[in-house]
Amino acid sequence: MGNTESNQNVKSYLQNSGIRPTKIRLSIAGLLFDGTDKHVTVDNVIEMARLSKIKTSVASVYNTLNQFAAAGLLRRVTVEQGKAFFDTNLSEHHHFFYEDEDRLEDIPMGAIQVEGLPDLPAGRSIKAIEVTVRI
C-alpha cells in the first residue's frame, strides 16, 4: 500500500465500476481495498483517514462509502439499529456478530447453507439472503 502499482490498481478498480477516480475517492479506496477483508463503519474510516494524514470531511466519507456501495464495491451490512457496516468482502458469505464488541466477522463462503426457502410472493425476487449469527 502506498506504492505506485497499488495506487494504479485502485484507480482501475474505481474506473471499471464507473466511479471517477478523484483524490479522496482514491485515498479512501486505498484504505479499504488492500486485499484484506474488512467490515468498517463511517467512524472507522474517518479514523483510518486521520491516521493516514488524509485530509477529508465527514460528509465526503459518507458520500464515498455510499457511492462505493451503490457501485457494488462495498456491501452494506445492517446488524444493529444505529450504525451501518460496509463490507469489502463481496463474495457470498454470512456473519458472526460479536454483540458485546459491535464487531462483524466473516463466516466463510459455503460454510453455511440455507435450506428450504418457501415460494416468494408473486412479482418478488430475492435481492439478498443474510444470515447473522449473534454470539
Cβ proximity to its own copies: between 5 and 101 the closer is 101
CB of 91 to Zn ion, least distance (A): 9
> 6, 50, 51: which is closest to 29 by C-alpha?
6
89 binds, among its own copies, Zn ion, DNA, none (CB under 5 to 8 A by kind): Zn ion
Which of 106, 107, 112, 132 forms a contact with Zn ion (CB under 5 A)?
106
For CA atoms 73, 79, 44, 40, the dihedral sign is negative
Q: Which stretch binds DNA (CB under 7 A): 62-70, 87-95, 110-118, 125-133?
A: 62-70
CB of 38 to its own copies, least distance (A): 18
End-to-end CA distance of the chain: 33
Q: Please check whether residue 135 is in contact with residue 98, taking contact to mean a CB–CB distance below 8 angstroms.
A: yes
Say which amino acid occupies 61: V
- Please give the residues from 58 up to 117 whose contact with its own copies meets the rule CB under 8 A: 78-84, 96, 98-99, 107-108, 110-117
CB of 90 to DNA, least distance (A): 20
Q: At what angle do helices 23-32 and 58-70 cross, to 10 degrees?
A: 70
Residues that bind Mn ion (CB under 5 A): 102
Q: Please check whether residue 86 is in contact with residue 77, taking contact to mean a CB–CB distance below 8 angstroms.
A: yes
**Interaction between residue 47 and its own copies (CB under 8 A):** no
